[in-house]
Chains A and B, each alone.
Chain A
Amino acid sequence: QLVESGGTLVEPGGSLRLSCAASGFTFSNYYMSWIRQAPGRGLEWVSYINPSSRAIYYGGSLKGRFTISRDNAKNSLYLEMNSLRAEDTAIYYCARSVGFSYGRFDYWGQGTLVTVSS
């Protein structure tokens, strides 16, 4: 099970930290991803991180504003978001990444809504 938290209303230019609590599998063995979905829109992969935190990749649209991290001792995944813009408004899902390039997502959380607005 994956449970996201931390989503809220934030002003443009603000910062936010999302969390994802994992249970039911050995979290420290798996790559993990963040994926977002703007209201009424499609899906956009945001980032992933390997078990040791030594391999991290980001989607091209983020331009260094987001930072993914994890704490295996706490079975938790995080997404630090800075310089937030209206276009970052979305439901943010954490997902377990498996397979070739760790690019398919076999378990997803229920999502947490981030709204960027003044």
Chain B
Amino acid sequence: DIQMTQSPSTLSASVGDRVSITCRASQSVTSWLAWYQQKPGKAPKLLIYKASTLESGVPSRFSGSGSGTEFTLTISSLQPDDFATYYCQQYNSYSFTFGPGTKVDIK
């Protein structure tokens, strides 16, 4: 299975900050990479797919980039609703695997 890692594991930031989360794959996943947001007690929500395509209804302050083995999720101006845990996930090959998550909390 392809192993996914994320950094940092926790990120403390303030409203209005620009934040970036890095996701790395143990082998190339080309562009088949998705990002999800999860809030406590809720199911994950798809934010970005194919590395950089914004899911319908997701605010444009979220963006994704990268290909191969290294990817980045960027929030251009952090909003109160964005404090959550973010997961990357590869779907280039079975079995589909998720990163361990990055928790974004209030500084």
Question: Which of A59, A100, A110 is within 8 Å of B91, CB to CB?
Answer: A100
Does A45 contact B97, Cβ atoms closer than 8 Å? yes
Does B98 contact A104, Cβ atoms closer than 8 Å? no
Question: Which of B44, B87, B90, B95 is within 8 Å of A108, CB to CB?
Answer: B44
Q: How many A-B residue pairs have CB under 8 A?
A: 64
Q: Does any Cβ of A come within 8 Å of B1's Cβ?
A: yes
Interface size class of B (residues with CB under 8 A): 20 to 34
Does B44 contact A42, Cβ atoms closer than 8 Å? no
Does A99 contact B101, Cβ atoms closer than 8 Å? no
How many Å lie between the Cα of A104 and that of B34 in the bound state? 7
Q: Does any Cβ of B come within 8 Å of A109's Cβ?
A: yes
Interface size on A, residues (CB 8 A): 21
Does A99 contact B44, Cβ atoms closer than 8 Å? no
Residue of B nearest to A33 (CB): B96
Digitize A91-106: 1 where CB-to-B-CB distance is under 8 Å, 0 elsewhere.
Answer: 0010100011101111
Distance in angstroms from B88 CB to nearest chain A CB is 10
Question: Which of A60, A105, A109 is within 8 Å of B46, CB to CB?
Answer: A105
Once A42-B99, A44-B98, A45-B98 are accepted as A-B contacts, the answer to whether A104 and B43 lie under 8 Å apart by CB is no
Digitize A45-63: 1 where CB-to-B-CB distance is under 8 Å, 0 elsewhere.
Answer: 1000000000001111000
Question: Which of B89, B95, B97 is within 8 Å of A57, CB to CB?
Answer: B95
Q: Does any Cβ of A come within 8 Å of B83's Cβ?
A: no
Query: What are 30 A-B pairs with beta-carbon distances under 8 A?
Result: A42-B87, A42-B101, A43-B87, A43-B89, A43-B101, A45-B97, A45-B98, A57-B94, A57-B95, A59-B96, A60-B1, A60-B95, A93-B43, A93-B44, A99-B50, A101-B91, A101-B92, A103-B32, A103-B91, A103-B92, A104-B34, A104-B46, A104-B89, A105-B44, A105-B46, A105-B89, A106-B55, A108-B44, A109-B43, A110-B43
